[in-house]
Structures are given as structure tokens and as C-alpha cells.
């Protein structure tokens, strides 16, 4: 840094030292004020991430002091059934959650956009779960889905003997239990985003489509939806990065159970780092999470910023 600045100073014909100092002290209050941001970026976002990636290649157990072992932690990671289950859960939950959140969010936004009455009441009802924590969400649904006293028990007591809603205790259905709770919390948010997107579409477009006799559903699918690209991309990125982080909801609703059938990568990381006493393994898993997010983020960043070139 210092070298470049000094060279630049030489380049414009100013003596090196004062040029550098003037550059450094120029705009000094702003630089001091931005120190927390600079420190956060350099120490946390860059420093900590590099640290984690580096130590994921060591055999650290209780303390991060292990020696370099190459990809050994990663080989172990993908040989561990709990990790593979976690990844598979995240992929299947993530796909279902992404599609349903976007789909229901868009559907509800379209319905809300039909000049209906009580719009703000409906919005209040749909968005309030988003204000609640995943812990609260998970615990409420855990109670509702309680096989003996929850919805299933109530329906059976009311005379519907065959009613079965034991997803929370059923390894094959537990992801759907997670999905019901997750959608409950997140669909309202997606709806608000989509509604903002729908409202940003010019009325002239609608008039033109109507004049041309295009059916409403067709206008939505072929004209309005492509015009909402920005909102859609934002929604996908936000929902996607939320899914990768999925942790609290699982802890509250199922705690990974029954058995390991609802484990997720974020929980794997925390368990290995803080209670499993196997830091290297936890760090390797965390690095895999980072890689996943990069795979989602890089195409987005390319689409958003790649084509347009640098601003100003």
C-alpha cells in the first residue's frame, strides 16, 4: 500500500514523503470514522475467513494448533454419514423451500395486488411471523405437531381415528415439518418483496396488454415476471443465503432428530467446534458452507455487476 502511494506521488512530480503523507492525512476524519468498517472488513470478513480456510487443513482437535494434513479433514467429512445426511437435507429442504417460498410469495402478492379490501390486514397477518425468531417459530410448531397432544391427537380425539400428522417424529417426513415452519416464517417476507416488485411495473404495460387482449395470467407470466427480474434475483439471493444458514429453526423444532434425520450443515459445524472437540472437522465443514454460498453468489455478482462495468 505504502509503496504504491509513494510511487504515485513520484509520478506526479511531488517529492515522495510529503506526497504520501499528504495522501494519508487527506480526508483524515473520514478515515478515522471509517476505522470500525475497515477493521471489520479486514479482520473479520477477510482475516477470519482466511484463518478458517487455513486451519481446515490442519488436524486441530481441542485447540487450533494442529499440523497441516492437506485434505484429510475433507475426506473424513464426506465419509461421515451425519455430514452427508446434513448436506442432503440442506439440498432437499433448500430446493423445496426456495421453490415454495418464491411460488407462494408470488401467488399471494398477485392476489394482494387485485385491489382487494383489507389489504393491510392481510399483510399484517402474513408478515408478523417474520418478526418472530426461529426459536419461537420452531417451538410453536413443535407443540402443534406434537403427536399425542397436538393436531394429530386432537383430530383423533374428535373421532378421526386414522388422522396422521407425526412428521416431526417420522424420519422420512421430518423435513416437511421443517418446511411448514420455515414457510410460515418466511413467506410473508417474500410476498412483501414481490408485491413491491409488482407495484413497480408501469400501469401502461397493463393497459397495453389489455388492449392487445392478452389474458391476465399470461401478462403476469410473460411480461410482468421478466420485468421483475431485479426483485426476483434479490429474493433468490436472500432466501438462498437464509437457507444455507438454517440453524436455529432446526435446533428449536427437532434438534436434528429423530436420530440424525434432520441435521443440517450449520449445526454440524457448531457441534464439532464447540461440543465435539474437533475444531479441524468443524472448520472444514464451515469452509464447505462458504463454498456453497460462493457458488450461489458468484453467478449473481456476475449478473449484477459483471455486465455493467464499474460505476463512476
Which 253-292 residues touch another protein, going by CB under 8 A? 255, 266, 269-270, 273-274, 279, 282-283, 285-287, 289-290
Tell me: does residue 164 bind another protein (CB under 8 A): no
Tell me: does residue 45 bind another protein (CB under 8 A): yes
Contacts of 220 (CB under 8 A, 6+ apart): 110
- The residue within the footprint of another protein, chosen from 16, 22, 51, 299 (CB under 8 A), is 51
Tell me: does residue 293 bind another protein (CB under 8 A): yes
- The residue within the footprint of another protein, chosen from 96, 236, 237, 260 (CB under 8 A), is 237
Tell me: does residue 186 bind another protein (CB under 8 A): no
- The residue within the footprint of another protein, chosen from 102, 228, 235, 284 (CB under 8 A), is 235
Tell me: does residue 228 bind another protein (CB under 8 A): no
Of 13-21, 37-45, 85-93, 161-169, which segment contacts another protein by CB under 8 A? 37-45
Contact code string over 126-155 relative to another protein, x by CB under 8 A: xxxxxxxxxxxx-xxxxxx-x--xxx-xx-
Of 10-18, 95-103, 112-120, 165-173, which segment contacts another protein by CB under 8 A? 112-120
| Phi, psi for residue 40 in degrees, rounded to 5 | -60, -45
Q: How many CA atoms lie within 13 A of 201 on its CB side?
A: 22
Amino acid at each position: 500500500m505504502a509503496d504504491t502511494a509513494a510511487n504515485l506521488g513520484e509520478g506526479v512530480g511531488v517529492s515522495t514523503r510529503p506526497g504520501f503523507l499528504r495522501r494519508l492525512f487527506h480526508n483524515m476524519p473520514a478515515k478515522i470514522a471509517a476505522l470500525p468498517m475497515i477493521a471489520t472488513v479486514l479482520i473479520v470478513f477477510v482475516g477470519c475467513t482466511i484463518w478458517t480456510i487455513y486451519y481446515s487443513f490442519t488436524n486441530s482437535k481441542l485447540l487450533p494448533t494442529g499440523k497441516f494434513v492437506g485434505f484429510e479433514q475433507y475426506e473424513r467429512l464426506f465419509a461421515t454419514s451425519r455430514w452427508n445426511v446434513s448436506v442432503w437435507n440442506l439440498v432437499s429442504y433448500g430446493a423445496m423451500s426456495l421453490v415454495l417460498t418464491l411460488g407462494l410469495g408470488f401467488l399471494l402478492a398477485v392476489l394482494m395486488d387485485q385491489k382487494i379490501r383489507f389489504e393491510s390486514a392481510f399483510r399484517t397477518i402474513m408478515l408478523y411471523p417474520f418478526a418472530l425468531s426461529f426459536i419461537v417459530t420452531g417451538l410453536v410448531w413443535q407443540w402443534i405437531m406434537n403427536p399425542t397432544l397436538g393436531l394429530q391427537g386432537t383430530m383423533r380425539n374428535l373421532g378421526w381415528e386414522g388422522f396422521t400428522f407425526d412428521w416431526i417424529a417420522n424420519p422420512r417426513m421430518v423435513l416437511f415439518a421443517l418446511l411448514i415452519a420455515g414457510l410460515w416464517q418466511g413467506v410473508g417476507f417474500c410476498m412483501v418483496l414481490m408485491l413491491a416488485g409488482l407495484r413497480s411495473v408501469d400501469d401502461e404495460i397493463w393497459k397495453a396488454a389489455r388492449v392487445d387482449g392478452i389474458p391476465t395470467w399470461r401478462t403476469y407470466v410473460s411480461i410482468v415476471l421478466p420485468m421483475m427480474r431485479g426483485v426476483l434475483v434479490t429474493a433468490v439471493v436472500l432466501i438462498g443465503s437464509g437457507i444455507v444458514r438454517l440453524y436455529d429453526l432446526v435446533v428449536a423444532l427437532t434438534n436434528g432428530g429423530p436420530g440424525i434425520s434432520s441435521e443440517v450443515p450449520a449445526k454440524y459445524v457448531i457441534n464439532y467446534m464447540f461440543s465435539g472437540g474437533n475444531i479441524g472437522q468443524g472448520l472444514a465443514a464451515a469452509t464447505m458452507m462458504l463454498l456453497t454460498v460462493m457458488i450461489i453468489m458468484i453467478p449473481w455478482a456476475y449478473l449484477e455487476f459483471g455486465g455493467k462495468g464499474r460505476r463512476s
